[in-house]
Structure 1
């Protein structure tokens, strides 16, 4: 991948905020991985170091891409070095048929390493679940796939994971907000809305593009209604919250056609929503009651112009309460990554990039779709880079951030603490930390147990939980015994220490008692 041109390169002082960091992230702080011909990247998720889903040191990028010609739903995983993770699927990627016409728009990582992608298939919500190694999760829906129909053409654009393991997808059905909540096995949650589904109409065509979960269990969806920002807040059972806006709904008009693509929840309960206002990046901040925050920008709204039309697709909050957005700006026959940083009042940070703004070029038609802040405060933006409107590469760029956010007790590599972070409606969970969890990697520090072991242990637990049927117990024991043989081979050829093997055996005994003969 070619380096960024001069306007994105740092001057002599690379410590200035907003400039690309050269070290440990490819040439000039940029990396790219081919996405394949005829494919358009629609969503990228970045996990933080220390999560179960790691491929070496540093960040891991998890990508859901949408085919432009109705091809299967693809997903891929790669390390921030730019190398695809070859332990995932075939060569670091998987494709899954759901219907003749399907697209993926959102993805989440669960604590045990499972990935769930969401989108649309044949006019319905579609979810696909993959194990850590990229195989379809046989316990999820029908052979790893779930489709959920509404009374109109529907599609999911955002997905989050609740602490109880339930999945909530948000998007549109007809011209209304649409939400659906699923149990971990892909079945609809009967206590949410009507048989697991909720639709919310505005007085014009609407769709939800982002979703966050509040600490009190309430859900907030954001998107557009006509040419306005639109939000709706729901009680845990899916009913609209009457104390938010007007009967649970909020609309915010800007000076031009506006739509929201990203949302973040501040510690004090305020909501930061980002998107576009015509050709400018637009941000609005709301109080817990849904009213615009008068202390932010001009009456709660901020718009920022770049040299060309601009839009924000992702938003993140740093330790100082500053707001960082990432998206694209269009001009000179192409597009670039566009980032901007604001203080808590909505004022551009003059020490970030050039007057609070940064643009980065890769190969002509580039856009950032996800954003995460490392524990040391450095922003990492990810998206696509392409010489054409479709196809192209997975692209990542890391920038110098706020030195005040660096935590001296942690380091970026190899494994600082994990933690949840919302990225365009996708919540990243924390990794398992005890032998009682499903995660095998967390109990063998410094070692990499075979991914198939963790997968088989998790499957055995699922089968064992199926009403205690004899066939389920037999399948659970079979999964664990095969995992035991894999561990034994890894010890024999020196890939795993006896100490780690013993810890894994204790994990397997818990998954299917009696299946493992402990040493």
Structure 2
């Protein structure tokens, strides 16, 4: 999402204050961030496994990381940490952790920062007793839970809520709409079938009664066995775009839903019924998975994910016009599948579309952080990393090449900020910490870079 010119100026100035001019190639670790471009945050004894699943960049350039922290007793909590603009750990913030009363554990999937500095965190809650439900919590700028959030018809204490009457559900993504309303996307088992789930709350965290059925929408395309939504974005018109994948005749394909902002109903101006399936089918019966979406200022929709090829799973991007038709200015037909394919490719987790139209996909491959950049017209951007892609790990911080996973990528004053976890093993015991990295990206002057 593009910042206001004032916010971009504040962030640019704050980054300039902690760095000197440099011109490292795009896509390589920024040596002025953290420790050689990398940083990890440990949650201390009793916290065996932790992973950052959300990034929030504050107006002054500081970075909020949030995710889950698993304790020795296997209880999992929401964890938060803060980095300074230069990537050093902000110890004044501490390591807040929170487990709502009435829950056994929580699993964080994503987070979004409100304009007032509050942080909305979503994921999945294990209830005391059987059942899992989609979870949403809100935190104040100091890391404490916001007790003024979700005060009406709430099964939990204010500050967090599970989606009532939605057993076996999860929230995978969240977007803060310009109106202040909060929209979640995920999935729910309903009548023994996995359905897409979209929930909208008002700015206070209570259900938006004007949206779908009392704030909760359940989506399932025709002739589909299972549907899972994994990302959501807002259009310039205030509508919602949710993406994911569905099984149609045992073949997984990308699914792009567009819902009217006014009431959550399918937008029939979008491909006729509010749904645009994308079945790439490089190989017969090959499963394709969409993971991320971004809506451009002109209303075009960018989707990123994986397409199954003969050599494994291949990163892919698609671009649609506001009405759901393919935007043929991307590789001639609106779809680009990169020839870099691998059976060990674990997935695409997030995407940033830069102000010049370049598309950055991030995730992990073969146990390392991974980022790849595409040109606006399609094709790999060879000015980024090594031929358009970059792998890196945290061995310089952990002392070993462990398992590293990137979940999120964000614009940090024009540079690229990635977050996830780094896993190392000591005395045969695995241990994972929050991990963040920043990549140089000096070509994108419009995003506030020197």
TM-score (norm 2): 0.78
The structure that is strand-richer by fraction is 2
**1:348-367 correspondence runs (5 A):** 348-362=380-394, 363-367=401-405
| C-alpha distance in 2 between matches for 1:208 and 1:390 | 31
2:240 maps to what in 1? 219
SS in 1 for 2:36: helix
Q: What's the offset of the Cα at 1:406? A: 5.2
2:276 maps to what in 1? 250
Count matched residues: 383
Q: What's the offset of the Cα at 1:291? A: 2.2
- Runs of 4+ off more than 6 Å: none
Q: What's the offset of the Cα at 1:71? A: 2.0
The range that moved more, 353-362 or 102-111, is 102-111
Distance 1:78 1:183, change over 3 A: same
Structure 1 residue corresponding to 2:159, chosen from 144, 149, 154: 144
1:180 maps to what in 2? 199
2:258 maps to what in 1? 233
1:403 maps to what in 2? 443
1:314 maps to what in 2? 350
2:227 maps to what in 1? 206
Larger Rg: 1
Q: Unpaired runs of 5+ in structure 2?
A: 1-21, 151-156, 395-400
**1:20-169 correspondence runs (5 A):** 20-23=29-32, 25-35=33-43, 37-41=47-51, 43-50=53-60, 58-65=61-68, 67=70, 71-80=75-84, 81-88=86-93, 91-97=94-100, 98-121=102-125, 122=127, 123-141=132-150, 142-169=157-184
1:444 maps to what in 2? none
- Assess if the C-alpha contact under 8 Å between 1:318 and 1:405 holds in 2: no
**1:461-500 correspondence runs (5 A):** none
CA RMSD of aligned residues (A): 2.5
Alignment of 1:336 with 2:362, yes or no, is no
Q: What's the offset of the Cα at 1:204? A: 2.2
The structure that is helix-richer by fraction is 1
1:511 maps to what in 2? none
Q: Unpaired runs of 5+ in structure 1?
A: 1-12, 51-57, 413-519
Structure 1 residue corresponding to 2:303, chosen from 246, 269, 273: 273
Q: What's the offset of the Cα at 1:404? A: 4.6
| C-alpha distance in 2 between matches for 1:46 and 1:143 | 23
- Assess if the C-alpha contact under 8 Å between 1:280 and 1:311 holds in 2: no
The range that moved more, 39-48 or 314-323, is 39-48
TM-score (norm 1): 0.69
